[in-house]
Structures are given as structure tokens and as C-alpha cells.
């Protein structure tokens, strides 16, 4: 089913207020061009639900012991390394869909969405078999004890079976947000997360008539939940209920695919470097034993409640910067980026302070291990104090990606994560400093990245990265 081309009002200069873009078709009759907060809050709420599920999952797995928590932490890290290529393609998807939508070219937005979907599905299928085949050597890199290693490999194998489901839901959600529809991904995300909680309860504990599968059950629960969400969003897409339809034919034209790749590959390299840097950092942490390793995983799960706010503003900034540039409004794009940064800083600081204040009871609730609890609190204190810098990174990175400037975020990750955090952590470990000093290495990382991104966005070169 194809939809009629939209009637789009010319975008005014950005004022921080919502303006309207009217469309026609079998789906919704009106698509709002929303402000920062209106685009951010559905993404924040969706991420909140996802983080709650992650927290519940860690809590459930935590009842199996620190080894099980370490296994799930390792498995998730490997899973997201394997999704780096998908995230690369969708970086190009966000920039091109938002720009086409801002210019009033619905047909092109739909073509980009469809092309991105085909490319990401192909990638997801290609990486599934190697992930399953090499699960053991991937898990062994983290120097886990044999029991934990087996659990981590099992988790990797099961979660990898659902790569295609993840790709479907991820790509369609990204495209919808880029077009200004932040609510449909929220409802689909809510369905996915509710299913995940039910399946976690059933498969980790062996309830509701299901077998007790432990760590394997946690992986199957997450994957099956993504499958349920992907079926729902694909059904809505095929039936024409979304603001982006299936799109006209010839979506895989060479020029369009090359644009996706050209914009996306630096984001892909960024994800590889980012995930690889974290793997290296986690490897250094693992040298100190299972307790610090588990503390890192628990600390990140707790602090994810502040990260999700920054990610929401990152999505909003990316969408609005791309749409304003597509409409020829570079000043509006600049204002949108700075406004997203300000709102992100205020929001993340408030949430970060709340988490820091409750660090001890939260850590004790997560796991009954005194040393893991102590180290988790130290980690929360360190990263909690870095919330303003992390907020700047989220918002301005999203702004640059919305403009198609995906190379500079790659440079910031190389500089901050690899050359500062990992190098400092390696030096501290070599000098036999305590594991707390390994956590302190994060401070240098975020100072460098926030400074570089602020200078880049202020310079304005990102406005002309994509040529019309």
C-alpha cells in the first residue's frame, strides 16, 4: 500500500515551540514537527522502561550469583559489538530520513527507510552464524572462570538467534523518530518490555509452566521480546498505519545505498571503537577479579536511569537538526542542538544526584555481596559526578549525527575512551593501584569528549557535511 505525497508547510526558524507539518495518507492525518522535549520524552520513557527491565533482569540473574551477573554483562557487551554495523546504517538513516522529511520529500524518506531495512536485515543474518560459532572464544577474552565463561557463551548463542528481530524493530523505530513520530516506537517498546519481564520471570525462575533456564532463559526472554515487538511494528508498517509507508520501488538504488554507507560507516567504526574500548576497559577491570567486574555491570544498570535521559535528548536533537537542515534553516538547527544540550544537562544532573543519594540501598538491593556492593557504590559516585559532561556528549553527538557529521564523534571516542580512559586504566593497573583508580580513569575520558564536541558544534562545520 502506497501513501500520497504529503503537503508540507515551509519550516519557520526554530523557536523552541512545536510547529505543524500536515500529511495525508491511510495513516495519521497530521504529523507534528515537535520541539525538543516533545520528541525527547517518549524516547526517555521508552528507555526508562528498557532500563527497568534491564534492572529487573540483573536482579533476577543476581539471585543466581555474581558469576551469572558477570556472564550476562559479558554476553550483552558482545551482543552490542555485533550490532555495531546496524547502528552504523541507522546513523545514516536518521540523517537522511530527517533531512528528506524536513524538505517535504516523503517518497525519499520512505525509500531511505526501506533501503536501510533491507541492508540491516542482511547484516543481521550474516553475523548470526559467526556469533554462535565463536561464542566460546569471544567470552574467553574476558578472563572469566570456567563456570562463568560457559554461562556467558550460552547467553551469546541464544541472544544471537534473534538478531533479525532486533534489526527490524530498531530500523523502523529509528526511521519513525527521524520523521517526527516518537510515540509509536514508545508503544512498541512498551510491548517489548512488558513481554520481556513476563518471559524473564517465566524462563529464569521456571514459572508459568516454563522450564528453569537461568542465564539461558534471560537471553531467550530478551530475544523473544524483541521478536514480539518486531512483529507488531512490521504489521503496522505493512498495513499502512505508520507515517512512513512501504515506499515506492527501487529503494536500493546505488546512490541512496552509498549515501547511507558514507554517512553510516564512521558511526559503525565509532561503535566498534566504543564497544572495543569498553571491552578493553572491562578486561582491565576483570584483572581485579569477579567482584569488581560484577560491580561495574550493576553500577551501569543503576546509572542507566540517567543515561536514558541523555539518550532521549540525543534522539530529539538528531531529528530536529536534520529536519531543520533539510528545510534550509541552519540557524534553527544550531538553536535546537544547544537547547537539547541545556535540557540534557539539567535533567541528567537531577537524576544523577538522586541515584548517588540512593547508591547504598540500590546496590544492596541488587546483590547480597558486601564487596560487590562497596565497589558498586564507588563506581556510582564516580560516574554520578560526571553527569553534566555525559549530558553534553549525548546531546551534541546526536546533533552532529543528525547533520550527517558522523566522523567527528568517532574521533572523540578514540581520543577520550581509548587514548585517555583505557591508557590511564592500563597505567594504573600496571602500577598495582587499587581498582577504584581504574574507575577514576573515566573522569579524563568525559572531560576530553565534552570539550571536543562543544568546540566542534560551536564551529559550525557540521552544517555543510551533507550536500543537497
Q: Is the pLDDT of residue 168 over 70?
A: yes
| Nearest alpha carbon to residue 322 among 456, 109, 178 | 178
Q: Is the pLDDT of residue 2 over 50?
A: no
- Residue 86 confidence (pLDDT): 79
Alpha-carbon gap, residue 23 to 33, rounded angstroms? 11
Higher pLDDT, 357 or 368: 357
Q: Is the pLDDT of residue 296 over 60?
A: yes
For residue range 8-52, list pLDDT tens digits in order.
Answer: 332 333 333 333 333 433 333 333 456 788 888 888 888 788 777
Looking at the chain, the whole-number percentage of residues with pLDDT higher than 70 is 91
CA distances for 9 relative to 75, 187, 328, angstroms: 47, 28, 13
Higher pLDDT, 160 or 451: 451
CA distances for 362 relative to 131, 142, 292, 299, 368, angstroms: 34, 26, 17, 9, 11
Q: Is the pLDDT of residue 359 over 60?
A: yes
The set of cell numbers assigned to 461 is: 562545520
- Residue 34 confidence (pLDDT): 62
Domain boundaries, the chain: 19-464
Report for 19-23, 362-366, 372-376: range of highest mean pLDDT: 372-376
- Residue 467 confidence (pLDDT): 64
- Residue 442 confidence (pLDDT): 94
Report for 258-267, 304-313, 377-386: range of highest mean pLDDT: 377-386
For residue range 200-234, list pLDDT tens digits in order.
Answer: 888 988 888 788 888 888 889 989 999 999 999 99
Higher pLDDT, 392 or 305: 392
- Residue 82 confidence (pLDDT): 62
Q: Is the pLDDT of residue 93 over 80?
A: yes
Mean pLDDT of 157-185: 90
Q: What is the mean pLDDT of the chain?
A: 83
| Nearest alpha carbon to residue 409 among 301, 283, 317, 305 | 317
- Residue 172 confidence (pLDDT): 92
Alpha-carbon gap, residue 272 to 170, rounded angstroms? 18
Alpha-carbon gap, residue 73 to 199, rounded angstroms? 19
Count H helices and E strands in the chain, helices first.
Answer: 18, 2
Task: Determine the distance from the C-alpha atom of residue 242 to the mean position of all C-alpha atoms in its chain, rounded to a whole number.
Answer: 22
- Residue 253 confidence (pLDDT): 76
Q: Is the pLDDT of residue 291 over 80?
A: yes
**pTM metric for this prediction:** 0.75
Q: Is the pLDDT of residue 284 over 60?
A: yes
Mean pLDDT of 419-427: 95
Task: Determine the distance from the C-alpha atom of residue 252 to the mean position of all C-alpha atoms in its chain, rounded to a whole number.
Answer: 26
Looking at the chain, the whole-number percentage of residues with pLDDT higher than 90 is 32
Mean pLDDT of 129-148: 79
Higher pLDDT, 1 or 422: 422
pLDDT band at 321 (very low <50, low <70, confident <90, very high): very high
| Nearest alpha carbon to residue 452 among 411, 419, 400, 421 | 411
- Residue 48 confidence (pLDDT): 80
Q: Is the pLDDT of residue 188 over 90?
A: yes
pLDDT band at 134 (very low <50, low <70, confident <90, very high): confident
Helix 370-384 and helix 290-326, axial crossing angle in degrees, nearest 10: 30
Alpha-carbon gap, residue 214 to 151, rounded angstroms? 9
Amino acid at each position: 500500500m502506497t501513501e500520497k505525497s504529503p503537503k508540507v508547510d515551509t519550516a519557520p526558524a526554530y523557536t523552541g515551540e512545536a510547529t505543524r507539518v500536515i500529511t495525508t495518507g491511510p495513516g495519521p492525518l497530521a504529523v507534528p514537527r515537535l520541539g525538543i522535549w516533545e520528541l525527547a520524552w517518549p524516547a526517555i520513557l521508552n528507555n526508562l522502561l528498557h532500563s527497568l527491565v534491564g534492572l529487573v533482569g540483573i536482579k533476577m540473574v543476581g539471585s543466581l550469583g555474581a558469576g551469572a551477573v558477570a556472564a550476562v554483562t559479558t554476553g550483552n557487551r558482545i551482543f552490542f559489538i555485533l550490532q555495531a554495523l546496524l547502528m552504523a546504517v541507522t546513523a545514516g538513516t536518521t540523517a537522511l530520513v530527517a533531512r528528506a522529511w524536513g524538505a517535504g520529500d516523503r517518497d525519499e524518506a520512505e525509500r531511505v527507510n526501506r533501503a536501510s531495512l533491507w541492508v540491516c536485515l542482511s547484516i543481521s543474518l550474516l553475523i548470526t552464524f559467526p556469533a554462535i560459532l565463536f561464542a566460546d572464544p569471544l567470552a574467553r577474552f574476558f578472563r572469566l572462570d570456567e563456570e562463568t565463561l560457559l554461562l556467558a557463551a550460552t547467553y551469546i548463542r541464544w541472544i544471537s538467534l534473534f538478531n533479525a528481530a532486533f534489526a527490524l524493530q530498531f530500523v523502523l523505530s529509528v526511521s519513525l523518530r527521524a520523521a517526527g513520530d516518537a510515540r509509536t516506537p514508545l508503544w512498541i517498546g512498551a510491548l517489548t518490555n512488558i513481554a520481556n519481564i513476563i518471559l524473564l520471570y517465566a524462563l529464569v525462575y521456571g514459572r508459568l509452566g516454563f522450564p528453569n533456564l537461568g542465564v539461558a532463559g534471560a537471553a531467550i526472554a530478551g530475544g523473544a521480546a524483541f521478536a514480539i515487538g518486531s512483529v507488531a511494528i512490521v504489521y503496522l508498517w505493512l498495513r499502512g498505519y505508520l507515517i512512513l509507508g512501504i515506499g515506492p520501488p527501487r529503494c536500493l538504488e546505488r546512490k541512496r545505498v552509498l549515501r547511507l554507507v558514507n554517512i553510516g560507516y564512521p558511526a559503525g567504526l565509532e561503535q566498534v571503537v566504543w564497544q572495543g574500548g569498553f571491552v578493553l576497559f572491562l578486561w582491565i577491570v576483570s584483572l581485579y577479579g569477579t567482584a569488581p567486574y560484577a560491580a561495574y555491570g550493576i553500577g551501569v544498570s543503576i546509572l542507566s536511569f540517567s543515561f536514558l535521559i541523555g539518550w532521549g535528548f540525543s534522539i530529539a536533537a538528531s531529528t530536529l537538526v536534520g529536519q531543520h537542515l533539510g528545510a534550509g534553516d541552519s540557524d534553527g538547527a544550531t538553536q535546537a542542538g544547544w537547547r537539547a544540550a541545556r535540557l540534557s544537562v539539567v535533567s541528567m544532573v537531577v537524576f544523577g544526584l538522586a541515584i548517588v543519594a540512593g547508591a547504598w540501598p540500590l546496590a544492596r538491593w541488587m546483590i547480597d555481596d558486601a564487596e560487590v556492593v562497596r565497589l558498586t557504590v564507588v563506581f556510582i559516585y564516580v560516574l554520578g559526578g560526571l553527569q553534566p559532561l555525559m549530558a553534553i556528549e549525548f546531546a551534541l553527538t546526536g546533533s552532529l549525527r543528525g547533520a550527517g557529521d558522523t566522523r567527528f564523534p568517532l574521533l572523540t571516542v578514540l581520543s577520550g575512551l581509548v587514548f585517555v580512559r583505557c591508557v590511564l586504566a592500563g597505567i594504573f593497573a600496571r602500577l598495582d593501584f587499587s581498582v577504584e583508580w581504574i574507575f577514576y580513569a573515566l573522569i579524563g575520558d568525559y572531560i576530553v569528549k565534552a570539550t571536543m564536541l562543544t568546540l566542534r558544534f560551536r564551529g559550525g562545520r557540521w552544517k555543510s557535511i551533507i550536500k543537497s
